[in-house]
Amino acid sequence: MDNKWDSVVGTKEYNENLSRIKRIAQESSFVLNPDQERLQKVVGLMTMNHNEFSKYYCPCKQSHPLDPQKDVLCPCTPLAEEVKKDGHCFCKLFFQKGSKGTK
């Protein structure tokens, strides 16, 4: 186990979150980052947040330690705006279809 999120990759909770993320991408006409390491990291850390706080807090925008009063949930409110502006969200989890590195 090289990374702290490795402990959740492949678990029921991780797979449920990954399915949720895939559904969000499909419903929003986005694609997921094809970089599997990045995908596992973000989904894994988000799953760890869910396991501890029962909500899918964004691991890329969270404070340390996580503050449920101010930290944002995924998908975050500016998701569509970030993808439109940059071709991907801040976490580089969701990408605009046809963006560099995606299909």
CATH number, domain with residue 65: 3.90.460.10
* Count of Cβ atoms closer than 10 Å to residue 63 Cβ: 10
Report residues of the chain scoring pLDDT below 50.
none
Q: Note whether residue 102 is domain-resident.
A: no
Q: Tell me, what's the pLDDT at 98?
A: 82
Q: Note whether residue 63 is domain-resident.
A: yes
pTM: 0.92
Give the structural domain span for 62.
4-96
Region at 3 (left for phi over 0; alpha for psi -120 to 50; beta for the rest): beta
Q: Note whether residue 103 is domain-resident.
A: no
Q: Note whether residue 17 is domain-resident.
A: yes
How many domains does the chain divide into?
A: 1
Question: Peptide bond before 78: cis, by omega within 30 degrees of 0?
Answer: no
